[in-house]
Structure 1
Amino acid sequence: MMKQRQFGNTGILVSPLGLGTVKLGRDKGVKYPERFTIPDDKAAGHLIALAKDMGINLIDTAPAYGNSEERLGTLLKGQRQDWVICSKVGEEYSDGGSSFDFSAKHTRFSIERSLQRLKTDMIDIVLVHSNGDDLDIINHEEVLTELNRCKQQGLIRSFGVSTKTVEGGLCAAERTDAVMATFNLDYRDEQAVIDFCGKHQKGLLIKKAFASGHLCQQSKDPVQASMDFIFSHQGVSSVIVGTINPQHLQENVAAVEKSLAE
């Protein structure tokens, strides 16, 4: 059973591996090397039960992940207390494309909609789904101010930014509770963000740990090599892995446990 870790200084405890759920709600416009079929409710339920049995308590979703939030609202019925839910604001996906809105009005609308879809009265972690203009979003848009207001009102427990740049990651870590950053064996540019989060006790989620499936082949066991690399850095709270394959999930958990045991 994986030992939970502090999510920065938020007081939230998260498993070192989190379950990403884009593949539960969307199969168009996603950057995976192989096509996949969205699992039905039975298969999705089995995947979530397996994750919980192995000690995973963090589940990651977003409005831009198709109907992922709505499905989780049903799939997690009766077990809300067992999960730390991370969702997002800012990006909308429809008709094969994304649009972005970081206004206070849309942020509030998105939070209230996510609460309804997820059938909960509070979301543990909310991240801004960046369009790549990280610094402009952080410094000039209304989204962070509105998220802070939602936090004060008890609608969310913590907030941060899913960034795409080093500068944005550092700025987000200074201004918010958490960052979601890209970090893997093939892409190490955001090392400074990882180090900053560790030094300043900020929540840090790692995305694209396997480069969205385009994993480098520098090792006979690239999954283990990836987890060893990521968890050698003290700042990491959890790695989000978006698999719908039970065997792959078990292998990921085993790799994380081995990395943290060494």
Structure 2
Amino acid sequence: MELDDAYANAAYIPGAADYPTRWADQAEAFRTQLSVVGRARLGLMYGHGTRQVLDLFLPDGPAAGLMVFVHGGYWLKFDRSYWSHLAQGALANGWAVAMPSYDLCPRVRISDITRQIAQAITVCAHEIPGPIRLAGHSAGGHLVARMCAPDVLPEDVAARLVHVMPISPVSDIAPLMQTSMNADLKIDPTEAKAESPVFQPAPEVPVTVWVGARERPVFLDQAEWLAKAWDCAHVVQKGKHHFDVIDGLADPNSDMVTRLLGVAE
């Protein structure tokens, strides 16, 4: 299809095939570590499907609030088990961290996944009091951006949002209709308009759009489109590509975590 190469990340990242195994190994080791000390609540159901499950990691002491990380994979692959280690940065700063899985296309539509993520955040919000911060990567960046739209989250949950960080987000899903992925995504013009964050009203909650400087041009464009549409903060991180741009979430002192959690506020 016309835009297959433009939206292909792995082909342009050295050692790309090694990343999923590395992520999974790091995530499993971290879950084991937190489970031993009783700070991991694994496999919490937030819906009726077998993939509508989340892991909740707890800080050492009362939680300052809730951070939710939503994974990517073009709404087609991965689950929460690959990313647990990315909770380290927020946990070390006193925040509880939730990581949901969700149903994948073509079993469901992107609009269904949006509703599932809203439900996952709502369930977590009932477990952890205080402010809520959202981060998501790639398709997950799209999904956390969608949480800023009116009437997606319940009013009481939306009122608790204090910062949203779409990382390398797909902010306009219409171009994906010109990729072979759309055989499974099944995006049509109506859904493209309804599910693209660039067409949402600019939210009142602070947003930081984050992207790696070494990403594919279309992802630099997608990030810029959202930052301009919402007139929000926009960080282009030097030296980072689509797969390692999320590494900062695991570092309690990284610029990404500092911005996400408002440590310097």
Please state which band the TM-score falls in when normalised by the shorter chain.
Answer: 0.3 to 0.5
TM-score (norm 1): 0.37
TM-score (norm 2): 0.37
